[in-house]
Amino acid sequence: MLFLLLFAPFALMADQGNPSLEAIAKALSSGDADALSKYFADNVEISILDKEQLYPKAKATEAVRSFFDSNKPKSFSQVHQGSSRESSDQYCIGNMSATTGSYRVYIYLKVNGSSTSIQEIRFDKG
């Protein structure tokens, strides 16, 4: 009991403010652009089938929602994750199955102090 009282607050604080790759994967699996956009930076580079553009957060959400509407996701599985050699930035690579086929998804997460945000997301036909 004493263990729980002493260490539970640290466990709760450790997850606050940082996007969970599990939550991002869940949003990708369900095609929930709004849930995914909670993790977007103020400006996000989005690449959809070789069409690349830098969007403000609201427009990025619209672009991803439009992609999900046309390519309804069925599942997402993470294949690899890691961190940048030069900084603490993170990346995730996975496969998304959609009604129109499969896509390779690349996500680049910028770590800035205690906050982490999606800087770039790519959807390539896979």
Query: Is-contact 109 116, C-beta < 8 A?
Result: yes
**What confidence category does residue 114 fall into, taking pLDDT thresholds of 50, 70 and 90?**
confident
Has residue 83 got a pLDDT over 80? yes
Classify the phi-psi angles of 77: left when phi > 0, otherwise alpha if psi is within -120 to 50, otherwise beta: beta
Q: Measured between alpha carbons, how far is residue 104 from residues 4, 92, 108 in Å?
A: 41, 11, 13
The answer to whether 23 touches 36, Cβ cutoff 8 Å, is no
Q: Does domain 18-125 have CATH number 3.10.450.50?
A: yes
> 30-82: per-residue pLDDT in tens?
999 999 999 999 999 999 998 999 999 999 999 999 999 999 999 999 999 88
Which residues, in sequence order, are bridge partners of residue 83? 90
> Would you state the structure tokens that stand for residue 39, as one six-digit string?
């993790």
